[in-house]
Structure 1
Amino acid sequence: MTEATSAVLRHHVTTDDPEEAAAHQAAYASFRHEPVARDGFAFDLSAAFAGPLGVSRMRHTGRFRAEVDPPGQLIVLEVTDGGMWIADDGHDVADRLMLAPHWSSSPHTAGWERVGLRITTLELDAVARVGVGVPGSDPPGPDAPGVRFGSMTPRSAQLARYWTNLVDHVERAMLANDELMASPLVRGEALRQLAAGALFVFPNSTLDRPAASARTAAEPATVRRAMDFMDAHAHEDVTIVQVAEAARMGARGLQAAFRRHREQSPLDYLRRVRMERAHHDLQAGDPTRGDTVGSIAVRWGFANAGRFSVDYRRAYGRSPSDTLRC
């Protein structure tokens, strides 16, 4: 069954046919597999996709062995039951959290006896756009090398737990809520959280880049152009690349300029602008017309009502519900 909303495409299938199961698995990567026994076989897949991101849960009870082509997207595999292994370029990995080797020039092999998986998918271009905003990263441009991953395993067990908690939050608090995900700002925030998490958890080229040097500092007029752009587009899903283009400089230089002249990042400034807009909407809101703290928070990209309330009280010295009632 597939159910589409304006923001989320949901898909659920249950089957005892191994070939039907393989057809659904092929949506993630192309592969050639050994025959799977039909006796006692069961397959279940529940997936939710919102543009360039998706979180799926899969259960496969058969013995599975396959040669897998490098996927065209970033795929993070969390083993929730059973076990799974991946062999690529002489490296055999059997871990609870693995990154599918999309960077390989040839197919890898993978398999399990039975497995339960949570599969997080992200478009590589979307991850690269977030990577541009990492301090010390390369500015956008046709010659920029982008983000390069090269290891299937997380940098530490602690970071593996961080990834699990992060996807728990996005899956339950954001992706499961159609009303929230209807907001372009919330969808953009979910994507940024997962992409930034992948860049933080798995070894990649952004971790090796030196910090921006002092020579990237810009004149305040450049910072002002960026601020003017964010002021005008705060209601949209703005990326650091778009802000940098409006300022007529690279994202790396923009990060350094904001740190030097405003002691904050461009996205910190954008969040403050959105908080101010939410504050004004709360002041003008009327609960008798159906205005709520939650709906106003979502309008400005704040998906977590509890966190919004804490940040709002810190900024304005009162709760958002008190402001709305006044």
Structure 2
Amino acid sequence: MTEVLVPVHRHHITTDDPDVAAAHQAAYGRFRHEPVPREGFAFGLDAAFAGPLGISRLRHTARFRARVDPLDGVVVVEVVGGGVRVATTGHDTSGPVMLAPHWSPHTVRWEGVDLRLTTLDQAEVGRVGAEVSGLDPTAVVFGSMTPRSPALARYWSELVDHVDRALLPDDELMSSPLVRGEALRQLAVGVLLVFPNSTLGDRQAEGPGTAQPATIRRAVAFMDAHAQEDITLGQIAAAARIGPRGLQAAFRRHREQSPLDYLRRTRMERAHDDLRSGDPTRGDTVGIIAARWGFANAGRFAVEYRQRYGCSPRETLRR
């Protein structure tokens, strides 16, 4: 007897309340965002979820800035209108098709957008990646937000078009385990083909920001989680399950920086986020924010900040 699955779950939301919009956006990830202007604001979301896969259309008219925690699933972002910038430590990307960096915290910025979001269960992508590569599912990892070529980016959009228009609208089709399973497999194979990852071999996946050894991923996760604390190289190495010298060598080879360089850059980015969301009328100052992230010398902090962001920390705080 053929198993019958629950039909596709569909959601349609429109609102002019930024707080309601943020609550619905939270379904895609945990984030901390700057205040969204209320005047003239409009938000719309049309989403369809079938088990471990979903396709959504999100429209947001206002300026949006947010710090996003690592995502629980694999999310591919297609920019239908407007523009989006996604930044991780050392990498700042925009484009028509991007893989949201589920392997690290990141910042998202836009001034009004129309997006199509494809979400896939990460364990299912790992399972499919193991089938096609022979790797263990836990070794199927991504690290780059950018498609391997413009042609593959177009291929992804065409693949999602097929699932979005021919399959998801049809409850009868999507109630079939075979149809739903094949749709998921097509999308999982597609994301593995389009974005650099460990199933493609070292040549396609190597380089800063791409899939990297587990020791580096553990070290990065530890530093991201404890950036506001007084952590040492020894503690980072212990979290990565490797010696300090080995960790430094791994970072030089795969990221072209030291672990402590990464940590300092992360703290600078966190300070930048706090400056952008800060309010001098509430008592926020450059010195307080810099000290919060371990920059005791305000003058040196200001020099490094200007080199990285092209303006002074005081200018950012007062915007």
TM-score, normalization: structure 2? Answer: 0.61
Match of 1:158 in 2: 151
- 1:116 CA drift (Å): 0.3
- 1:90 CA drift (Å): 1.5
Choose the corresponding residue for 1:190, options 175, 180, 183. 183
- 1:161 CA drift (Å): 0.1
Alpha-carbon displacement from aligned partner over 1:103-122 (angstroms, at most 9, x marks no partner): 12xx2111100000000000
- Conservation of the 8 A alpha-carbon contact between 2:153 and 2:194: yes
- Structure 1, unaligned stretches of length 5 or more? 211-326
Match of 1:25 in 2: 25
Superposition map of 1:113-262 within 5 A: 113-134=111-132, 136-138=133-135, 140=136, 145-208=138-201
- 1:31 CA drift (Å): 0.3
- 1:209 CA drift (Å): 6.8
- 1:9 CA drift (Å): 0.6
Q: Distance in 1 between matches of 2:111 and 2:166?
A: 32
Report the AA paired with residue 108 of structure 1.
H
Report the AA paired with residue 128 of structure 1.
G
Q: Secondary structure at the match of 1:54?
A: strand
Match of 2:9 in 1: 9
Q: Distance in 2 between matches of 1:125 and 1:145?
A: 8
**Aligned-CA RMSD value:** 1.4
Q: Secondary structure at the match of 1:83?
A: strand
Task: Report the identity percentage.
Answer: 65
Bigger radius of gyration: 1
Alpha-carbon displacement from aligned partner over 1:63-96 (angstroms, at most 9, x marks no partner): 0000110101000000000000001011110111
Runs of 4+ in 1 over 4 A off after TM superposition: none
Q: Distance in 2 between matches of 1:28 and 1:129?
A: 22
Alpha-carbon displacement from aligned partner over 1:203-250 (angstroms, at most 9, x marks no partner): 00000079xxxxxxxxxxxxxxxxxxxxxxxxxxxxxxxxxxxxxxxx
- Conservation of the 8 A alpha-carbon contact between 2:80 and 2:96: yes
Match of 1:254 in 2: none
- Conservation of the 8 A alpha-carbon contact between 1:137 and 1:209: no
Report the AA paired with residue 176 of structure 1.
P
Q: Secondary structure at the match of 1:113?
A: strand
Match of 1:99 in 2: 99
Q: Distance in 2 between matches of 1:156 and 1:169?
A: 20
Q: Distance in 1 between matches of 2:20 and 2:102?
A: 25
- Structure 2, unaligned stretches of length 5 or more? 204-319
TM-score, normalization: structure 1? Answer: 0.60
